[in-house]
Structure 1
């Protein structure tokens, strides 16, 4: 840890402390010769804790065959370490809730922490890991550094919390923990994961909690030993799953989280979705045990729906190439040129969803809200308009740039007339895959008009956006797909770029204004002969 920050923690008079019962439980946790009777005596000193343990033991979480009526039965059901972990969790949440006036939304903080703990336990069950309660406790405590920093430096840290808080339109403000960690490292020299790990050692908690907390933000660069690697990766994955549930729009990151689940644990997409579904089923009961306000049934259904949607979109956008890079995708026995009215041969989002949506009311309602282009699988114009409005508000509030790019296929009409609409459709679908493969998870690509794509690039200035466009245009202009008859096609695109507050748009007041600016830039590029980029407010360049 950064030396100056450690010194501030070491000599802080209001550093969070553990209650007496929790301290005694920590001593027992570190004693290899501890006996069940010792733990029972300590727990019985806190009647409120005993009540919570009874509620947990008799809940569906443990599913006992008979009603649990005494501490001995609890210890036999959960085991020594399991009981210790759960009891510590109850004690620490109670302590954290009594933190007083601090600049942190503690209800939201503990809901996310409990979500992480729940995800840890479910992930452990899926992977047949031992010590599920220890996994649960590791997930519960991974963010405790945020609580500690809020208590010991409320004014200065409060400013960081404010800067890292997102303000989704029409929704409750929510903290972005990855953004917060970046600000912490910049301003404090270290992040809340390091502070939390230090606090675990200060409290003399078991080593596994220190290691899990230290690696919760980035397990690949935390120097984790092989002994704890699965634990640390479980906690890190669980925090990202929790964010899908607690942050509006974070469901769009579901494909990236699913990719980590596959990379770290070999879990396929279907298994990942099962974990999310189990979260939705189990969290209300676990939240009730810890007296945390749960999500309601409609919220749970909506988030699960959106996470599925994001996975479906990315699956279509990144559909593997079916033939070599310089040949237009065609079905070998069905020349596209000979069948101009044929449906697109590239699998579409609409076809992959049609059967499932007939029987699934949740998907039908989701389709009404989040519509997709059937040919390319991209989000459509209404969804683009909604996101553009939201991102424009966020860009103004957080003082960050927002770029919008319109990409138009210059010669799509000629391709349709000379080769048939089937070929034109495949050109559009191939371009959609290419563009989608070059965007980051927080960015968006949509089909704006018949031959026009839109790229929404939050936190990207004009320079970064221009670099991306030039890269895409270079790839597309060098692409010469070949038809079965030997005829080759040339595809060119024009691009219009507008960036708030750059490119003469400091006074831009709405997403519609930014869209109009990008449209004007696109028209300039087309009027100049096409095949080039025009930046609003700046001389166009080819």
Structure 2
């Protein structure tokens, strides 16, 4: 909604509060130059209830007059026209309550805070030398008049503002600007203007949240606006959940805006709560015992300490939980490795078992297919192994198997796979390796075994082995199968044994097997 349209809707709303007759008439009277004190006194005297309230306040510590004031004429004479006008308006506005529509807006809380703001504004301006304090009270009271107007005339929409503030998504001014296109300062100003308020009361409503916005030369108005602005910071201490922030801001800006010294600031902070409670009694507003600023700040510090303590404790617990989780993860990884070993490692030799060989061979064949590369395998059999068991016993046989495995493992590439195929047979997978390179590897291994001394610290043993080799390019070979590939290496191994053992033989497509040129007969 555009600003002009919204203001028209507000002013035309049935929910817009109306000023009591006396309040409306006193504004009209005080705007005339020829109005006398007697005219003011006669007007106020017509409302007996209002007269009683004004006399009650006039004779209270709110003004602290030494003499007793016994009549409205005397009150008007002593207090002055502007002060009486402020009292009449204050009592009038404090009677405004919620409208017909239900809303989230807390009217009682609003007036409690408004009265606290009025008291604070008066306390502040009293500390400024030669400042006119007659109307600062009503200015503080009506600083947020626009909020009341919004809550009465646009209850549902203003609930959205309150929800945004409650969720800490926005300040009230920013939320109002977003939802209505104007904030409550402008709305309060326009409504008060329609009621005939003088400029000295209008401008603090308009600029009460932004003193820099007033560029006029009137010192009284400028001082009032600054006092009203600072009073809002003080009510932030009393009513917000972050009093320490408002406290720091008040101390800083009270000095910069009005030049208040530390003693003045301490005096204001020290007496604020008691003055608010007194004002509640004078203006018939039920206010529970207001906590002192010192007490509020102490409680805030305690809450902050508890939050920090809780944070430290939570942080320690999180660190401990993280360490425990990392330890558990390492334990699980270790146990998983153990399980993998149990599933994939040969218990005697410590190299991979037949099951793992089959899995890796599937993977390497798939990789060779993708890259159209070659793959070789070596099937190896320890020559005359049965004689070791029969002659020296199974313990020596186990030693030979273990030492044989170590020699092969220590002399293969990291990406080659050595596994126990079964009994005294072993297998090596050589990825991306053609026949020539594979035979070189096989002959190197054969020679290392043949020339190694197998010493179990009791005796030494001479061990030889036979090697069968097969090479394939799975991607280009017709009818290639894993089992067929292994069978070719097995046939080559069989031929190596037939040819006298301790040699390397490669499988050829013509099913002819030739001993490797570097091998020797057993």
Q: Do both share a fold (TM > 0.5)?
A: yes
Higher Cα Rg: structure 1 or 2?
Answer: 2
Say if 1:197 and 1:213, in contact at 8 Å, map to a contact too: yes
Measure the CA separation in 2 of the matches of 1:224 and 1:515: 59
Q: Does 1:218 align with 2:199?
A: no
Find the counterpart in structure 2 of residue 283 from structure 1.
276
Measure the CA separation in 1 of the matches of 2:75 and 2:170: 38
Q: Specify whether residues 183 and 68 from structure 1 end up closer, same or farther in structure 2 by C-alpha distance, changes over 3 A only.
A: same
Q: Does 1:304 align with 2:267?
A: no
Find the counterpart in structure 1 of residue 379 from structure 2.
none
Measure the CA separation in 2 of the matches of 1:147 and 1:219: 21
Q: Tell me by how many angstroms 1:514 deviates.
A: 12
Q: How does 1:33-52 map to 2 (within 5 A)?
A: 33-52=34-53
Measure the CA separation in 1 of the matches of 2:316 and 2:211: 39
Measure the CA separation in 2 of the matches of 1:186 and 1:105: 22
1:367-391 Cα shifts (integer Å, max 9, x gaps): xx8469xxxxxx65x34246x6xxx
Say if 1:102 and 1:150, in contact at 8 Å, map to a contact too: no
Find the counterpart in structure 1 of residue 109 from structure 2.
108
Say if 1:112 and 1:243, in contact at 8 Å, map to a contact too: no
Measure the CA separation in 1 of the matches of 2:249 and 2:321: 31
Q: Tell me by how many angstroms 1:305 deviates.
A: 3.3
Find the counterpart in structure 2 of residue 204 from structure 1.
196
Measure the CA separation in 1 of the matches of 2:222 and 2:317: 47
2:89 counterpart SS class:
helix
Q: Tell me by how many angstroms 1:203 deviates.
A: 0.6
Q: Tell me by how many angstroms 1:254 deviates.
A: 0.6
Find the counterpart in structure 1 of residue 318 from structure 2.
516
1:163-203 Cα shifts (integer Å, max 9, x gaps): 3237xxxxxxxxx8981111001111111011111111111
Q: Specify whether residues 293 and 520 from structure 1 end up closer, same or farther in structure 2 by C-alpha distance, changes over 3 A only.
A: farther
Q: Give the alignment's TM-score, normalised by structure 1.
A: 0.54
Find the counterpart in structure 2 of residue 147 from structure 1.
148
Gaps of 5+ in 2: 327-522
Q: Specify whether residues 208 and 178 from structure 1 end up closer, same or farther in structure 2 by C-alpha distance, changes over 3 A only.
A: farther
Say if 1:245 and 1:251, in contact at 8 Å, map to a contact too: no
1:31 counterpart SS class:
coil
Query: Which consecutive segments of 4 or more residues in structure 1 shift more than 3 A?
Result: 98-102, 128-131, 221-227, 369-372, 512-521
Q: Tell me by how many angstroms 1:209 deviates.
A: 1.4
1:136-179 Cα shifts (integer Å, max 9, x gaps): 0100111110111111111111221233237xxxxxxxxx8981
Find the counterpart in structure 1 of residue 223 from structure 2.
230
Q: Does 1:384 align with 2:375?
A: no
Q: How does 1:366-385 map to 2 (within 5 A)?
A: 370=301, 380=305, 382-385=306-309
Find the counterpart in structure 2 of residue 79 from structure 1.
80
Gaps of 5+ in 1: 167-175, 310-365, 373-378, 389-447, 450-511, 525-542
Measure the CA separation in 1 of the matches of 2:146 and 2:92: 17
Q: Which of 220, 229, 233 is 1:240 aligned to?
A: 233
Say if 1:82 and 1:131, in contact at 8 Å, map to a contact too: no
Measure the CA separation in 1 of the matches of 2:170 and 2:36: 41
Q: How does 1:256-335 map to 2 (within 5 A)?
A: 256-296=249-289, 299-301=290-292, 303-307=293-297
Measure the CA separation in 2 of the matches of 1:112 and 1:40: 30
Measure the CA separation in 1 of the matches of 2:147 and 2:112: 14
Q: Does 1:14 align with 2:15?
A: yes
Find the counterpart in structure 1 of residue 502 from structure 2.
none
Find the counterpart in structure 2 of residue 191 from structure 1.
183
Q: Tell me by how many angstroms 1:263 deviates.
A: 0.9
Say if 2:98 and 2:152, in contact at 8 Å, map to a contact too: no
Tell me the matched-pair count. Answer: 322
Say if 1:5 and 1:188, in contact at 8 Å, map to a contact too: yes
Say if 2:144 and 2:205, in contact at 8 Å, map to a contact too: yes
Q: Specify whether residues 263 and 47 from structure 1 end up closer, same or farther in structure 2 by C-alpha distance, changes over 3 A only.
A: same
Q: Tell me by how many angstroms 1:120 deviates.
A: 1.0
Q: Specify whether residues 370 and 44 from structure 1 end up closer, same or farther in structure 2 by C-alpha distance, changes over 3 A only.
A: same
1:132 counterpart SS class:
coil
Q: Tell me by how many angstroms 1:212 deviates.
A: 0.3
Measure the CA separation in 2 of the matches of 1:84 and 1:165: 36
Say if 1:212 and 1:231, in contact at 8 Å, map to a contact too: yes
